[in-house]
Chains A and B, each alone.
Chain A
Amino acid sequence: MARTAFATLLLALSCTASAVDAPKLVDPWIRATPPQVPTGAAYVTIQGGDAADKLTGAKTNVAAKVEIHTTKQQDGVMHMMPMDSLAIPAHSAVKLAPGGEHLMLIGLKRGLTPGETVTITLQFEHAGAVDVAFPVLDARASEPEHPGDHMNNH
């Protein structure tokens, strides 16, 4: 009984500790892939916790690898470049969105269809590995509505 209580207390404490420091992942979504396209893009808003952190990588079962990418217009050309890491300042929101930073899913093993959910493990320098469920949403909307939006309107 005491052991269980102690274990529960420890678990509760660890959850509390990580909830305070870890970045929060808000509105994750993956653009459904057009037919035969083996690269995908995942988006999410990362809200920095009490401590500054850095996104240093990610992985998922549905792709050979995941890279953090940024896009930049320069000299009349859009450059798409991998980043080693993405700084997440404390108490700031960093939004990965179409036309800007995104998680590039390289070597998709299959097409991603609307309605399914894909787990991507985000790797943070301080917060460690964080599993996030990314719903796959129809690509034919630049900023698609999230399932939660409909519920809030009723």
Chain B
Amino acid sequence: MKNKTLWSLLAAAAVVVVFAGVLAHHYIADRPSAPPTTISAAAPPAINGNVLPQPRTLTPAVLVDDDGNPFVNADFAGHWSLVYFGYTYCPDVCPLALVELASVKKSLAERMPDVAVEYYLVSVDPARDTPERLHAYVTYFDRGFHGLTGSLPDLTRFATETGSLFLIPEGQETTNYLISHSTNVTVLDPDGKLAAVITPPHEPATVAADFAKIVASRD
């Protein structure tokens, strides 16, 4: 065999060996040695929405509650939180949602009286929803409901991190604008972390049942 041919063959073989080595490394050596840690070894419960396999920590922010006081992430801890993004100028969707949540609250109080749950309307309309306005609005649906507002960047981040969107129209001339928004019921766990998102529609019996599944999966 001529030298040139031999060297070509060797070079080709070297390429193949290197390539095989890269593939082997990628598929075999990179396998994790242990599965990632999760809260529960079982799969998350199936609900109308999504239960996160790992609860997600939210970026710290200082919001404002409906008494006008600062509200920090730590204020979500110690109880489960059901959060709804909406606004007081919303004539149909938000009143309906809060009526439904009031019904959920009654149902859960009977069904699981030892589980502490708080309910929050988080405003997607900080320009018009003052704490005072929020207070009058949420307490109308249930005396124990809370309202939260804050800066637009903080509210936007809170929504985004929990899988919700809202769209404030630009260049409005009047104060009668409408805001399109996600209508999820967002569930934060007693550590104040995002645990689940319950998607619409929100039949109170279904929401209560889904919430019970989420709580049970933590036991």
Q: Give A contacts to B, CB under 8 Å.
A: 31, 34-41, 69, 71, 73, 76-80, 98-99, 102, 104-107, 139-142
- In the complex, the answer to whether A98 meets B136 with C-beta atoms within 8 Å is no
Known: A34-B137, A76-B165, A78-B200. A39 touches B89 (CB 8 A): yes
State A34–B136 Cα separation when bound (angstroms): 8
- Segment at the A interface, from B10-18, B70-78, B179-187: B179-187
State A139–B202 Cα separation when bound (angstroms): 17
In the assembled complex, which residues on chain B have CB atoms less than 8 Å from the CB atom of A99? Answer: 92-93, 96, 201
Min CB distance B165 to A, Å, is: 5
Say if the beta carbon of B91 comes within 8 Å of chain A.
yes
Say if the beta carbon of B156 comes within 8 Å of chain A.
no
Chain B 146-182 interface mask (CB, 8 Å, partner A; 1/0): 0000000000000000011111000000001010111
Q: Taking CB as reference atom, which chain A residue is nearest B164?
A: A76
Min CB distance B71 to A, Å, is: 21
- In the complex, the answer to whether A36 meets B180 with C-beta atoms within 8 Å is no
- Between A and B, 8 residue pairs with Cβ closer than 8 Å are A39-B176, A40-B91, A73-B183, A73-B200, A78-B180, A99-B201, A140-B102, A141-B99
- In the complex, the answer to whether B93 meets A142 with C-beta atoms within 8 Å is no
- In the complex, the answer to whether B176 meets A106 with C-beta atoms within 8 Å is yes
Chain B interface size range: 20 to 34
Q: Taking CB as reference atom, which chain A residue is nearest B132?
A: A36
- In the complex, the answer to whether A142 meets B167 with C-beta atoms within 8 Å is no
Q: Taking CB as reference atom, which chain B residue is nearest A74?
A: B180
Q: Give B contacts to A, CB under 8 Å.
A: 88-93, 95-96, 99-100, 102, 133, 136-137, 140-141, 163-167, 176, 178, 180-183, 200-201
The one of A76, A102, A142 that contacts B100, using a Cβ cutoff of 8 Å? A142
The one of A38, A77, A104, A105 that contacts B180, using a Cβ cutoff of 8 Å? A77
State A139–B137 Cα separation when bound (angstroms): 12
Smallest CB-CB A-B distances: 7 pairs: A35-B136, A34-B140, A39-B91, A41-B91, A41-B92, A98-B96, A79-B180
State A99–B140 Cα separation when bound (angstroms): 19
New contact pairs (19) apart from A77-B182, A139-B141, CB-CB < 8 Å: A34-B136, A34-B137, A34-B140, A35-B136, A35-B140, A37-B89, A39-B176, A69-B92, A71-B92, A71-B93, A76-B163, A76-B165, A78-B93, A78-B200, A80-B93, A80-B178, A102-B92, A140-B102, A142-B96
In the assembled complex, which residues on chain B have CB atoms less than 8 Å from the CB atom of A78? Answer: 93, 180-183, 200
In the assembled complex, which residues on chain B have CB atoms less than 8 Å from the CB atom of A35? Answer: 136-137, 140
Per DSSP, chain A at the interface is strand
- In the complex, the answer to whether A102 meets B167 with C-beta atoms within 8 Å is no
State A86–B92 Cα separation when bound (angstroms): 18
In the assembled complex, which residues on chain A have CB atoms less than 8 Å from the CB atom of B164? Answer: 76
- In the complex, the answer to whether B92 meets A139 with C-beta atoms within 8 Å is no
State A31–B95 Cα separation when bound (angstroms): 9
State A141–B133 Cα separation when bound (angstroms): 22
- In the complex, the answer to whether B182 meets A102 with C-beta atoms within 8 Å is no
State A141–B141 Cα separation when bound (angstroms): 10
Min CB distance A138 to B, Å, is: 10
Min CB distance A110 to B, Å, is: 15
